[in-house]
Amino acid sequence: MKRNMLVFWITVIVGPFFVSLPARASYALVDCAGITQGAFTSINEALTYLDSTSPDDPNWNWIEVKGTCSENVRVYDHYKLGIVATLGETVTIVSPTPSAPALGFYNSRNIYLYGLVLTGGSNGLEASNSQITAEKLTADHNFSSGISVSDQTLLRLTSAELRNNNWTGLSTNSLSVVEVFPSGPEGGLRVTNNAGPGLWIYDSWFGANGSITIENNGGPAADTAGSLITIGSGTGPNVVRDNKAGILVQGIGNFTFWGQAVVQNNGPFGFRVFNGARLHFISIPSADGSLTSVTVEGHTDVGIEVSDRGQAYLGGVHIIRNNGSGNSTAGIHVIGTSQLTMEQGNQITGNLGAGVFADVNSSIDLSDITISGNAGPGVLVLHQSVAELGSGMHTGGNVGGGLACDFRSLVISDLFRPSRGCQSIETPGWRGRTHDAPKLPTMPAQTVPNDLYQQLRKRAMQR
C-alpha cells in the first residue's frame, strides 16, 4: 500500500512568530487509530520514513497527526520539523513507558508543535540542546514534569497548559531560555494542580509577556535559583494564587514583575528573596493611562521576605496588604544584611504585624508611600538596621504607631523625632553616627540585566 507521502504547497503562521517556509515541503499523515487508508499508524513510523526519503528537508518536514497515539516519540538531530494536529483540533500522545518522555527532542532546531496533549511519560515534553516553538500544548499527568528543558534549549510557548503532573509543571536548567508570548485570547501559560512547584527554574532565563496563571500547585508557585525571570503585562493581570507557598528567588537570581499582577493566598509567603537574589516590581501605564500594580495579599506569615543579602525594589503603586497572622509577622520583612527600596506610591496596609520590618543589619529606603492600618508599627527597625524615611511618607493609623525601633538602630528622617524607643534619629545630610549604628549600605542601581538575557538567548540559539 502506498503511504500518504506528498510534496505539497504550504503556508504556516506560528502565533506571533513567522516561520518562513519555501512553498514545497515534505508531508506525512499519521492516523494512530488506523482508520485513514494509506496513512502511517504511528509518529515514529512517519519519522523513520521521512529520515529515509527527505532528511532535513530545507523546506521543512511536516507530520500531521490524528487520533490517540500510544508511543514514546524521540527525535534526534532534526532540523525544520513540524508535528501538528489538524488545525483547530488536538491529538494525544500517551507514553506507554513511565520512565520515558511522551515526546523528546535532542540536538534539534526549528521544531514546531501544534495541538498536542502529552501524558503518561517521565516528562510530557523533554528537550535538550534544542530550539522549539509550541502552540496549544497540554502536558497532563506525567510522572515528573509537564515540560523539562535543559542544556541551552530555547523553548517558545504561545499557548500551553501544564497540569496534574507528579512534580512540576515546567522545569528548566543549564542556561536554557523559555519565552511565553500569548497568541489570541486563549494564549499564554497556565500551570495548575501539579504536586510540586508550578515552575522550577534554575540557571536559566524565563520571560513572559502577559497571561500567566500559576494556581493550586502542591509546592511553591515558583522555585528559582541563579536565573533571570521577567513576567509582565500591560493589558491584564498575571495571577499567582492558592499555591502551597509563593515565589522563591535565590542564588544571585533576579525576578521582575512589570505591569499588572496578583499574588494571593499562597500559604506562608508571597515572595521569599534570599541568598543575594533581587526582586523588582515596576508599574507601567495601562490603556486608560493609570499605572498598573502588583498586589501581594492574603499570606499567613509575610507578604514579602527579603533575607540573607537579598534586595528588593518596588517602584510604583503596588499594594502589600492583609498578610500575616500575628505581631511577629509583617507586610514586608527585611532581615540579614538585606536591602529594600520603595517609592512612587506603594501602599502597605492591613497587615497583622508591622507594615515594613527591618532587622539584623538591614537597610530600608522609603519615600512617597503609604503605610497605614497595620496591627503593628508602620515601620519597625531593630538590631543594627538603618531606615531612611524620605518625603511623602504617610504612616497614620497603625496600631503600633508610625515608627518603632531599638537603641542600636538608626533612622534618617526629618519626619520623626527621637523617642523612648528610637533614640538615634538623624536628619538628612547628617554627618555623625551613633556609636552602635551600622554604616548605611547603598542600594545598587535597580535595572533589569538585559545583558544576561542576551547572553543566555545567544547561547541557546548557537547550535
Could you tell me the sign of the dihedral formed by the alpha carbons of 42, 43, 45, 49, in that order? Answer: positive
CB 376 within 8 A of CB 353: yes
Instruction: Give the C-alpha separation, 48 to 5, whole Å.
Output: 12
pLDDT of 378 strictly over 50: yes
Output the nine-digit C-alpha cell for 66: 490524528
What was the pLDDT predicted at 10?
39
For 111-132, the pLDDT digits (tens) are: 999 999 999 999 999 999 999 9
Phi-psi region of 312 (alpha: psi -120 to 50; beta: other; left: phi over 0): beta
% of the chain exceeding 90 in pLDDT? 76
% of the chain exceeding 70 in pLDDT? 86
Return the DSSP state at 17: B
Return the DSSP state at 59: T
pLDDT of 7 strictly over 50: no
What was the pLDDT predicted at 54?
86
What was the pLDDT predicted at 186?
74
pLDDT of 393 strictly over 80: yes
For 221-244, the pLDDT digits (tens) are: 999 999 999 999 866 779 999 999
For 405-455, the pLDDT digits (tens) are: 998 999 999 888 777 688 888 888 654 444 343 444 444 444 444 454 455
What was the pLDDT predicted at 429?
67
CB 356 within 8 A of CB 378: yes
Q: 159: burial class by Cβ within 10 Å (0-12, 13-18, 19+)?
A: buried
Helix (H) or strand (E) holding 103: strand 103-106
C-alpha distances in Å from residue 182, one per residue of 85, 88, 134, 208, 366:
19, 17, 11, 9, 36
What was the pLDDT predicted at 423?
84
Q: Residues near 435 by Cβ (< 8 Å), separated by ≥ 6?
A: none
What was the pLDDT predicted at 463?
42
CB 65 within 8 A of CB 82: no
Each residue of 342-352: b (16+ CB within 10 Å) or e? Answer: bbbbbbbbbbb
- Classified as helix, coil or strand, 461 is helix
What's the average model confidence in pLDDT over 289-314? 96
Per-residue pLDDT band for 384 (boundaries 50, 70, 90) equals: very high
pLDDT of 12 strictly over 70: no
φ, ψ dihedrals at 125, nearest 5°: -115, 130
What's the average model confidence in pLDDT over 315-329? 89
pLDDT of 460 strictly over 70: no
Amino acid (1-letter code) at residue 81:
L
What was the pLDDT predicted at 96?
97
What's the mean pLDDT when you consider all of the chain?
A: 88
CB 279 within 8 A of CB 296: no
For 18-54, the pLDDT digits (tens) are: 333 333 579 999 999 999 999 999 999 999 999 998 8
Output the nine-digit C-alpha cell for 19: 516561520
What was the pLDDT predicted at 5?
41
What's the average model confidence in pLDDT over 75-86? 96
Per-residue pLDDT band for 196 (boundaries 50, 70, 90) equals: very high
For 145-187, the pLDDT digits (tens) are: 999 999 999 999 999 999 999 999 999 999 999 999 887 777 8
For 258-286, the pLDDT digits (tens) are: 999 999 999 999 999 999 999 999 999 88
- Ordered by start, the domain boundaries in the chain are 1-218, 226-444
